[in-house]
Chains A and B, each alone.
Chain A
Amino acid sequence: MITKFQVAYKNLLRKKIRSLLTLSGIALSAWVLVSLLGFNHGFETALNKDIDNMGFQMMIMAKGCPYEAATMMLKGGTGLKYMDTSIADTIRKEPDVEKITPMLMQTVFDPNKGESGGIAAYLGVEPKSYGEMKTFLTFRQGGWFTQADAYEAVMGYEAAELEQREVGDLILIPGKNVQFKVVGILNRTGTQDDGTIFVPLRTLQKIFGKTDALTTIGVKVRKDADSSRIEEKFYALPDVQVVNLAQVKQTILSLVSTAKVLVLSIAIIAILIAMVGVINTILMSVHERFQEIGILKTIGAMPGDIFQLIWIETLLLCTTGGVVGVVLALILSRITELVFRNLLPYSPSGGLVLIDAKLVLFTLGAVLAIGLLSGLYPAWQAGRIRPLEAIRSDVNG
């Protein structure tokens, strides 16, 4: 016996082009929806990963001290401000603080870099606390310094590549004429660490006569801690500024959310258009089969049977369209990612469009729900057709 599904399928095949166009509309809507939700998910995940890769959620530095390399280079390596190491001890005592890592940045002018000289920067770190904070740092060669006051250096991959250094080679601090032995080369991380030359904190303090001075303290707070409250507390410390990376993340997310709202609006419009397309297709199909439905009713079909038949057609269209859309989104995810990367002023490293099973199921469910909703009216219209009126009508003729 022929089932309702088979009847619905055959009905859709009767108007192949129309069914295909409607299906394309649904597929495109599903594609846009999956891609956008995937982007939403992917962007946040990538951003979280980037922030986690920094190892600390807060940076504390002396007021007015440039806190990234680019600003420092623009200032010609000048303008570094210092805070006392005792601040690190105060912060360490804070119960909500899980870990801290003190750092000292120092720069020298190297007259033999380019035509007019350049800046060479060195970051003094404690290998233990810095390594613990940045667990993603792995070594391509060697390892961390052997002693806290050793004349040894660890180089980020790009710094080592520029200086053509390998483990066992020497580096020289221009102007100071102090030599360091390279004991470790880090693997690439995609962060600022790639271009950094790390030396033991104590050694750098000694060479530059900055004993008891720090430029930055990286702080990792406990997971359940209220970072805003801690930030307020740190602001009370004398002459320090606090950069809360959690807030930075929120700022980026809110900046991106403007773009997301715009694109999501487009997606909603696309879905509405697809919905209207489905309603139109099914309504036309019902209209064309006015007499046929009447005959079906005459031979015993109940309004519920007709309703189901029409609704199944919608279901078939939407399911197929949804599946095609999801497959499209999966295949084209790399291209979508490239488009987003080009459109956004800042995008984190790693995959920007993340499509997982949960998202696929959600989209299919949403498309199905929208489709079924769209099919309600045409199915209801078909169900209430009066048999005699339908047979007498001249809809096809």
Chain B
Amino acid sequence: MFSYVKRQIATKAAQFSAKAAGVVLVALLAGTGAAWGAVGCDLNDPDRDVARLFPESTGYKAMYISVQQRGGEKLLERIEAKLGDKFHGLFETIDIPYTVYEIRAKNKKIGYIHGVNQKGQFGGIQVFLALDLEGRIRAFYIQKMTSQHAGKLRDAKFGRQFIGFALADFEQYDVASGKASGRVDEIRNPAPEAEADFRAALRATKKNLVLMDEFVFSSKVLSPDNGASPQ
């Protein structure tokens, strides 16, 4: 009798587990209220990544800014003019919500982290820049890249070449032709076989700096000096 009851309980439990698993499956397969807008570029693990890129930081705040919301077509034209290239393709659109991480040490703002998506030869490249309050690069980080040579381009040695650069250094860099003058010309490609991805990384860096200039450094609302914390 006792074993019969035990069997019944076991059967019921098994049925319940199967049902519960099914529920999870349907929820996952069906998706729940998917966001239909364009996708931005976020740090995979902000707590860990912020601490790594800004070791002195004590906190951060994420802000979401899109070109559409901030200035629309006129701003886009200005950004494209500064970049020296058009936003193109299915996914480089005006409505992308860019994530700007405002980094703080105690109650003082000490810098920003911002990432952009860039089309690479075999997949999307995510280029993050850690910037000080003057807009100079403190750290360069490729979060994601698909390439046989990704290891070389993601290496810290390659990233160190960008430290100290600002938008002004990239002004003479032509993203369309890949021709550079001044300091940018000194950046060496560690993987000549992956020239397309190297140039994609440079375009992403310039785009990142242009966007940050428009969103933060030239912006009255998001001035690095006024300590404003826009939402």
Q: Are B31 and A190 in contact (CB under 8 A)?
A: yes
Q: Are A161 and B38 in contact (CB under 8 A)?
A: yes
Q: Are B122 and A166 in contact (CB under 8 A)?
A: no
A143-183: which have CB < 8 Å to B?
158, 160-166, 169-172, 174, 177, 179
Q: Are B44 and A115 in contact (CB under 8 A)?
A: yes
* B76 part of interface (Cβ distance < 8 Å): no
* B188 part of interface (Cβ distance < 8 Å): no
Q: Are B23 and A177 in contact (CB under 8 A)?
A: no
- Chain B residues lying within 8 Å of A179, measured Cβ to Cβ, are 122
Give complex CA distance A334, B92 in Å. Answer: 32
Q: Are B31 and A194 in contact (CB under 8 A)?
A: yes
B31-65: which have CB < 8 Å to A?
31-34, 36, 38-39, 44-45, 48-49, 52
Q: Are B150 and A112 in contact (CB under 8 A)?
A: yes
* B189 part of interface (Cβ distance < 8 Å): no
Q: Are A349 and B33 in contact (CB under 8 A)?
A: yes
* B221 part of interface (Cβ distance < 8 Å): no
- Chain A residues lying within 8 Å of B122, measured Cβ to Cβ, are 170-172, 179
- Chain A residues lying within 8 Å of B150, measured Cβ to Cβ, are 111-112
User: A112-B144, A115-B44, A188-B34 in contact; A160/B22 too (CB < 8 A)?
Assistant: no
- Chain B residues lying within 8 Å of A162, measured Cβ to Cβ, are 39, 117, 124
* A185 part of interface (Cβ distance < 8 Å): yes
- Chain B residues lying within 8 Å of A194, measured Cβ to Cβ, are 31, 34
Give complex CA distance A247, B52 in Å. Answer: 48
User: A112-B154, A141-B90, A161-B91 in contact; A249/B144 too (CB < 8 A)?
Assistant: no
Contact partner of B25 (CB less than 8 A), chosen from A113, A243, A349, is A243
Give complex CA distance A68, B125 in Å. Answer: 27
Binds B, one of A8-16, A47-55, A87-95: A47-55
Q: Interface readout for B68-102 with A: 1 if CB under 8 Å, 0 if not?
A: 00000000000000000000011110000000000
Q: Are B26 and A114 in contact (CB under 8 A)?
A: no
Q: Are A255 and B28 in contact (CB under 8 A)?
A: no
User: A158-B39, A163-B124, A251-B22 in contact; A113/B29 too (CB < 8 A)?
Assistant: no
Q: Are A252 and B48 in contact (CB under 8 A)?
A: no
Q: Are A51 and B32 in contact (CB under 8 A)?
A: no
Q: How many residues of A contact B (CB 8 A)?
A: 51
User: A171-B146, A192-B28, A346-B23 in contact; A341/B33 too (CB < 8 A)?
Assistant: yes
Shortest CB-to-CB span from B26 to chain A, Å, is: 5
User: A115-B44, A172-B122 in contact; A190/B30 too (CB < 8 A)?
Assistant: yes
Chain B: number of interface residues, binned into ranges: 35 or more
Shortest CB-to-CB span from B7 to chain A, Å, is: 18
- Chain B residues lying within 8 Å of A248, measured Cβ to Cβ, are 19, 22-23, 25-26
Give complex CA distance A165, B123 in Å. Answer: 6
- Chain B residues lying within 8 Å of A51, measured Cβ to Cβ, are 26, 30
Q: Are B25 and A68 in contact (CB under 8 A)?
A: yes
* A18 part of interface (Cβ distance < 8 Å): no
* B147 part of interface (Cβ distance < 8 Å): yes
- Chain A residues lying within 8 Å of B38, measured Cβ to Cβ, are 161
User: A115-B49, A162-B124 in contact; A50/B30 too (CB < 8 A)?
Assistant: yes
Shortest CB-to-CB span from A133 to chain B, Å, is: 13
Q: Interface readout for A237-259 with B: 1 if CB under 8 Å, 0 if not?
A: 00000011101110110010000
* B148 part of interface (Cβ distance < 8 Å): yes
User: A161-B91, A166-B89, A172-B146 in contact; A252/B28 too (CB < 8 A)?
Assistant: no
* A138 part of interface (Cβ distance < 8 Å): no
- Chain B residues lying within 8 Å of A244, measured Cβ to Cβ, are 22
* A69 part of interface (Cβ distance < 8 Å): yes
Q: Are A172 and B29 in contact (CB under 8 A)?
A: no
Contact partner of B45 (CB less than 8 A), chosen from A50, A114, A191, is A114
* A348 part of interface (Cβ distance < 8 Å): yes
- Chain B residues lying within 8 Å of A172, measured Cβ to Cβ, are 122-123, 146-148
Give complex CA distance A114, B90 in Å. Answer: 24
Q: Interface readout for A84-126 with B: 1 if CB under 8 Å, 0 if not?
A: 0000000000000000000000000011111100000000000
Give complex CA distance A158, B90 in Å. Answer: 12
Residues of B that sit less than 8 Å from A by CB = 19-34, 36, 38-39, 44-45, 48-49, 52, 89-92, 117-125, 143-148, 150-151, 154
Residues of A that sit less than 8 Å from B by CB = 50-51, 53-54, 67-70, 110-115, 140-141, 158, 160-166, 169-172, 174, 177, 179, 185, 188, 190-192, 194, 243-245, 247-249, 251-252, 255, 341, 346-349
Pairs across A and B, CB under 8 Å, 10 listed: A69-B28, A112-B146, A112-B151, A160-B90, A161-B39, A174-B146, A192-B31, A245-B22, A346-B27, A346-B32
Closest 10 CB pairs of A and B: A248-B22, A112-B150, A172-B122, A164-B124, A50-B30, A164-B119, A251-B19, A163-B123, A114-B44, A190-B31
